[in-house]
Amino acid sequence: MQEFKPGPYTEIASTATGIALWEFMNQAETLVILQTTTANRRPAIEGIQEQLWKQFGKAIKADLWLRMINRMLRQVMEQNGYKREPRPMKIIDGKLFTTGTRYQPSQKPAITDSE
Protein backbone atom coordinates (compact mmCIF):
# COMPACT_ATOMS: atom_id res chain seq x y z
CA MET A 1 0.00 0.00 0.00
CA GLN A 2 1.40 3.35 -1.01
CA GLU A 3 1.30 6.33 1.30
CA PHE A 4 -1.66 8.69 0.99
CA LYS A 5 -0.75 12.18 -0.18
CA PRO A 6 -3.35 14.21 1.72
CA GLY A 7 -2.64 17.68 0.34
CA PRO A 8 -5.07 20.05 2.10
CA TYR A 9 -6.52 17.17 4.17
CA THR A 10 -3.41 16.49 6.28
CA GLU A 11 -5.16 17.22 9.56
CA ILE A 12 -8.10 14.83 9.11
CA ALA A 13 -6.04 12.23 7.21
CA SER A 14 -3.88 11.71 10.29
CA THR A 15 -6.86 10.91 12.56
CA ALA A 16 -7.87 7.34 13.38
CA THR A 17 -10.80 7.65 10.94
CA GLY A 18 -8.56 9.04 8.20
CA ILE A 19 -6.06 6.21 8.59
CA ALA A 20 -8.87 3.61 8.65
CA LEU A 21 -10.34 5.13 5.47
CA TRP A 22 -7.04 4.85 3.62
CA GLU A 23 -6.69 1.23 4.76
CA PHE A 24 -10.26 0.51 3.63
CA MET A 25 -9.62 2.10 0.22
CA ASN A 26 -6.58 -0.16 -0.28
CA GLN A 27 -8.16 -3.47 0.70
CA ALA A 28 -8.18 -6.07 -2.07
CA GLU A 29 -11.98 -6.45 -1.77
CA THR A 30 -12.47 -2.70 -2.16
CA LEU A 31 -10.25 -2.61 -5.23
CA VAL A 32 -12.21 -5.44 -6.87
CA ILE A 33 -15.44 -3.50 -6.30
CA LEU A 34 -13.91 -0.31 -7.71
CA GLN A 35 -12.67 -2.15 -10.79
CA THR A 36 -16.00 -3.91 -11.32
CA THR A 37 -17.96 -0.68 -10.96
CA THR A 38 -15.55 0.97 -13.41
CA ALA A 39 -15.88 -1.89 -15.90
CA ASN A 40 -19.65 -1.34 -15.78
CA ARG A 41 -19.05 2.32 -16.80
CA ARG A 42 -20.30 3.70 -13.49
CA PRO A 43 -18.53 6.09 -11.09
CA ALA A 44 -16.09 4.05 -9.00
CA ILE A 45 -17.31 5.54 -5.70
CA GLU A 46 -20.82 4.26 -6.40
CA GLY A 47 -19.69 0.69 -5.79
CA ILE A 48 -18.29 1.31 -2.31
CA GLN A 49 -20.49 4.01 -0.84
CA GLU A 50 -22.71 1.50 0.97
CA GLN A 51 -19.66 -0.11 2.64
CA LEU A 52 -18.29 3.35 3.49
CA TRP A 53 -21.59 4.23 5.15
CA LYS A 54 -21.78 0.95 7.09
CA GLN A 55 -18.19 1.12 8.29
CA PHE A 56 -17.80 4.85 8.96
CA GLY A 57 -21.33 6.27 9.12
CA LYS A 58 -21.97 9.89 9.99
CA ALA A 59 -18.29 10.43 10.85
CA ILE A 60 -17.55 10.91 7.13
CA LYS A 61 -20.73 12.69 6.01
CA ALA A 62 -19.23 16.19 6.20
CA ASP A 63 -18.13 17.71 2.92
CA LEU A 64 -14.48 17.87 3.98
CA TRP A 65 -14.40 14.11 4.53
CA LEU A 66 -16.16 13.40 1.24
CA ARG A 67 -13.62 15.51 -0.64
CA MET A 68 -10.77 13.64 1.06
CA ILE A 69 -12.36 10.30 0.14
CA ASN A 70 -12.46 11.44 -3.49
CA ARG A 71 -8.77 12.33 -3.27
CA MET A 72 -8.04 8.89 -1.81
CA LEU A 73 -10.11 7.22 -4.51
CA ARG A 74 -8.25 9.04 -7.27
CA GLN A 75 -4.88 8.02 -5.85
CA VAL A 76 -5.93 4.38 -5.49
CA MET A 77 -7.33 4.25 -9.01
CA GLU A 78 -4.27 5.93 -10.55
CA GLN A 79 -1.92 3.62 -8.63
CA ASN A 80 -3.81 0.71 -10.18
CA GLY A 81 -3.56 1.89 -13.78
CA TYR A 82 -6.70 3.99 -14.24
CA LYS A 83 -7.23 7.58 -15.33
CA ARG A 84 -10.11 9.94 -14.67
CA GLU A 85 -12.74 10.79 -17.20
CA PRO A 86 -13.38 14.54 -17.37
CA ARG A 87 -17.09 14.78 -16.49
CA PRO A 88 -18.79 13.66 -13.28
CA MET A 89 -21.79 11.35 -13.50
CA LYS A 90 -24.92 11.18 -11.35
CA ILE A 91 -24.83 8.38 -8.81
CA ILE A 92 -27.73 6.00 -8.38
CA ASP A 93 -29.09 6.04 -4.80
CA GLY A 94 -26.45 8.43 -3.52
CA LYS A 95 -26.34 7.97 0.25
CA LEU A 96 -23.04 9.84 0.58
CA PHE A 97 -22.29 11.07 -2.92
CA THR A 98 -24.64 12.47 -5.57
CA THR A 99 -22.08 12.54 -8.39
CA GLY A 100 -18.86 10.69 -8.99
CA THR A 101 -15.98 10.34 -11.38
CA ARG A 102 -15.72 7.53 -13.85
CA TYR A 103 -12.34 5.98 -14.57
CA GLN A 104 -10.93 4.02 -17.46
CA PRO A 105 -7.78 1.94 -17.88
CA SER A 106 -4.82 4.20 -18.67
CA GLN A 107 -3.91 2.12 -21.69
CA LYS A 108 -6.26 0.05 -23.74
CA PRO A 109 -5.06 -3.48 -24.57
CA ALA A 110 -3.45 -3.80 -27.98
CA ILE A 111 -5.72 -5.30 -30.60
CA THR A 112 -4.08 -8.22 -32.33
CA ASP A 113 -4.90 -9.57 -35.74
CA SER A 114 -6.20 -13.14 -35.45
CA GLU A 115 -5.16 -14.15 -38.96
The reply to whether 97 falls in a domain is yes
Grouping H, G, I as helix, E, B as strand and the rest as coil, residue 22 is helix
pLDDT score recorded for residue 35: 97
The reply to whether 113 falls in a domain is no
The reply to whether 112 falls in a domain is no
Burial code of 97-108, b = ≥16 C-beta within 10 A, e = fewer?
beebbbbeeeee
pLDDT score recorded for residue 107: 75
Rounded Cα gap, residues 50 and 63, in angstroms: 17
The reply to whether 28 falls in a domain is yes
Rounded Cα gap, residues 77 and 57, in angstroms: 23
pLDDT tens digit at each of 115 positions of the chain: 899 999 999 999 999 999 999 999 999 999 999 999 999 999 999 999 999 999 999 999 999 999 999 999 999 999 999 999 999 999 988 889 999 999 999 876 545 555 4
The reply to whether 23 falls in a domain is yes
Give the range of the structural domain holding residue 31, as residue numbers without chain letter.
7-105
The reply to whether 110 falls in a domain is no
The reply to whether 15 falls in a domain is yes
Structurally, the chain folds into a number of domains equal to 1
